[in-house]
Amino acid sequence: MKPVLKTLSTALLATGLMASPAVAGQKMLMLLSAPAAEAQAFNLVLANQLQASGHGVHVVLCGEAGDVALKAVPDAATKAVTPQGMTVRSLLEGLLKKGGTVQVCAIYLPNRKLQADALMEGVSAARPQDVAAMIADPAIKIMGQ
């Protein structure tokens, strides 16, 4: 790594602006609220990679990112966004198949006047106290977008 980048990385780690490297088997919490399909796909690609490499991944979707977890999925979530032709929905389904946990934030369903049965199989609504406990747990690495 170039000296300037190494110094910057060290400074970011020290200030908490950059996460430390993941330890094998570590639990990961991804808070995903990015509205753009490309950003959602990028984060879900990473979540799938982490899950496949032995990390426990828990994704909480909020805002427009939660739409991908609906049974009636929006068109944007079914359009190919990766060079391999994957869609945001297929990435989410893949994460669930690999054992990842996916939830929508607690305010997602009420703000859309929807019930839990509007969500695809395997997805539930998160409880704020449970997500807060994960955030407070130093053993869980937090990622956000």
pLDDT of residue 24: 64
Distance (Å, rounded) from C-alpha 105 to C-alpha 111? 11
State CA 55 to chain mean position distance. Answer: 13
Residue 104 has pLDDT above 80, yes or no: yes
Confidence of residue 56 (pLDDT cuts 50, 70, 90): very high
Q: All domains of the chain, ordered by start, with CATH?
A: 27-144 (3.40.1260.10)
- Answer for the pair 74, 92: CB distance below 8 angstroms, yes or no: no
The structure's pTM equals 0.82
- Answer yes or no: are the C-beta atoms of 115 and 109 closer than 8 Å: yes
Q: pLDDT-derived band of residue 20, with 50, 70 and 90 as boundaries?
A: very low
d(CA 45, CA 100): 12
| pLDDT-based confidence at residue 25 (cuts at 50, 70, 90) | confident
Contacts of 9 (CB under 8 A, 6+ apart): 1, 18
Cα Dmax for the chain = 53
Three-state helix/strand/coil letters over 71-135? CCCCHHHHCCCCCCCCCHHHHHHHHHHCCCEEEECCCHHHHCCCCHHHECCCEEECCHHHHHHHH
